[in-house]
Amino acid sequence: MKVCISCGMPMSKKSDYPLEDESKDYCIYCARQDGTLQSYEERLKGTTEFLIRTQGMDENAAHELAIRTMKKMPAWENAVSL
């Protein structure tokens, strides 16, 4: 089973992939509507919002956790804004 290089989500079903394209290394949540990988800034915003919504974190704490988590992901290991 593949794991998303952007967020770490396990991708076990075809519907987990952008445009159901199993050749992609990232999940549907990390992709734009056209199937391309979102930018670091787009993912940082989305991850921060996800943490606020699902974990009840305040914005600053969620933002810091999102940065720390994303630093560990292959898609972002060389991102300049880290």
pTM to 2 decimal places: 0.87
Q: What is the pLDDT of residue 54?
A: 97
Please identify which residue in the block is written with the tokens 């519907």.
15
Task: Specify if 32 maps to a domain.
Answer: yes
Task: Specify if 81 maps to a domain.
Answer: no
Domain count, the chain: 1
Task: Specify if 13 maps to a domain.
Answer: yes
Q: What is the pLDDT of residue 14?
A: 98
Domain range holding 27? 2-76
Task: Specify if 48 maps to a domain.
Answer: yes
Between the alpha carbon of residue 50 and those of residues 17, 29, 43, 44, 78, the distances in Å are 19, 11, 10, 10, 23
Q: Is 17 exposed, middle or buried (0-12, 13-18, 19+ CB in 10 A)?
A: buried
Q: What is the pLDDT of residue 78?
A: 84
Mean of the pLDDT values across residues 39-45? Answer: 97
pLDDT grade, residue 12 (50/70/90)? Answer: very high
Task: Specify if 18 maps to a domain.
Answer: yes
Please identify which residue in the block is written with the tokens 């991102």.
79
Q: What is the pLDDT of residue 53?
A: 98
Q: What is the pLDDT of residue 79?
A: 80
Task: Specify if 6 maps to a domain.
Answer: yes
